[in-house]
């Protein structure tokens, strides 16, 4: 499938593409532990792969920028290898990218984000960068729009990080991220974190190791490429349709 990806283009090719491009897709991931069965670049790679597919569905009106391959991951910092950006740093990166894109005539961007920990920062970015830079700033969690498919295909009740869902998505999009011989269920701990999960009266910060000893939740042993394909393709279809509606 043909798709415009800035990283693979020369400037005369970009110049040509800009005649039809109306929106830039910024893949946003994270660099953080994903348990014993996924490598730490997982979120960055999944966001990039999804972005390319989405740009294909929107061809020739969308263009993928370089991936922001680190994100806001303080919760995971106690696991070896995690690298976390401050929210203000991530906003600074987005500001500079969007300013550059505007210089090239693009004033609509979609941040395609694969990491929950970035969502609050993106909410703040939407409120500030939209007005500061006079652009349309959209953001989306990569597969959140396929929640109904997840509810049908994922059996774990607590999932969302290196779990049945995420491993499934990776098996479809980028199987090299997965150590299939190491797949494990989340090793859940009891603690205050339960009182701070979405859906509770209170919210607040907790470290991931308070919740899970091996860094995963859900049950990755139940993951499959088929589940991943259904989730991802459904989400892509809905995202593409949604983008077309607001362009």
Interatomic CA distance for residues 78 and 217, integer angstroms: 16
Q: How far is the CB of 204 from a second copy (least distance, A)?
A: 4
| Residue entry with tokens 């209170």 | 202
Taking CB under 8 A as the rule, does residue 103 contact a second copy? Answer: yes
Q: How far is the CB of 206 from a second copy (least distance, A)?
A: 9
Site for a second copy, residues 148 to 177, rule: CB under 8 A = none
Q: How far is the CB of 131 from a second copy (least distance, A)?
A: 6
Choose which of 117, 186, 218, 228 interacts with a second copy (CB under 8 A).
Answer: 117
The H or E element spanning position 149 is helix 147-153
The H or E element spanning position 226 is helix 225-246
- Which stretch in 137-145, 150-158, 167-175, 225-233 sits in contact with a second copy by CB under 8 A? 137-145
The packing angle between helices 119-133 and 87-103, to 10°, is 40
Choose which of 66, 189, 197, 213 interacts with a second copy (CB under 8 A).
Answer: 66
Give whole-number Cα distances, 90 to 79, 118, 119, 245, in Å.
21, 9, 11, 28
Choose which of 51, 64, 84, 159 interacts with a second copy (CB under 8 A).
Answer: 84
Buried b (16+ CB within 10 A) or exposed e, 144-180: ebbeebbeebbebeebbbbbbbbbbbbbbbbeebbbe
Which is nearer to a second copy, 155 or 189 (by Cβ)? 189
Binding letters toward a second copy, positions 170-209, x by CB under 8 A: ---------x--x---------x--xx---xxxxxx----
Task: Name the DSSP class of 219.
Answer: B
Beta-carbon count within 10 A of 32 CB: 29
- Which stretch in 36-44, 153-161, 163-171, 217-225 sits in contact with a second copy by CB under 8 A? 36-44
Site for a second copy, residues 225 to 244, rule: CB under 8 A = 235, 238-239, 241-243
Choose which of 101, 150, 154, 173 interacts with a second copy (CB under 8 A).
Answer: 101
């Amino acid at each position: 499938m043909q798709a415009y990806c800035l990283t693979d283009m020369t400037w005369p090719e970009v110049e040509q593409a800009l005649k039809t491009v109306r929106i830039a897709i910024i893949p946003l991931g994270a660099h953080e532990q994903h348990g014993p069965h996924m490598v730490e670049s997982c979120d960055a790679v999944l966001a990039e792969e999804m972005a390319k597919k989405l740009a294909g569905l929107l061809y020739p009106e969308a263009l993928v920028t370089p991936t922001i391959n680190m994100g806001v991951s303080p919760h995971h910092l106690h696991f070896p290898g995690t690298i976390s950006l401050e929210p203000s740093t991530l906003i600074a990166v987005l500001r500079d990218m969007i300013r550059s894109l505007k210089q090239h005539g693009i004033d609509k961007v979609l941040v395609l984000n694969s990491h929950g920990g970035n969502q609050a920062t993106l909410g703040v970015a939407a409120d500030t960068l939209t007005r500061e830079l006079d652009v349309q700033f959209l953001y989306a969690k990569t597969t959140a729009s396929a929640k109904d498919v997840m509810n049908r295909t994922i059996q774990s009740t607590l999932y969302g990080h290196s779990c049945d869902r995420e491993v499934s998505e990776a098996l479809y999009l980028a199987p090299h991220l997965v150590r299939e011989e190491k797949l494990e269920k989340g090793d859940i701990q009891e603690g205050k974190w339960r009182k701070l999960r979405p859906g509770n009266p209170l919210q607040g910060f907790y470290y991931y190791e308070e919740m899970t000893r091996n860094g995963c939740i859900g049950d990755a042993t139940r993951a499959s490429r088929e589940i991943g394909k259904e989730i991802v393709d459904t989400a892509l279809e809905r995202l593409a349709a949604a983008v077309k509606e607001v362009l």
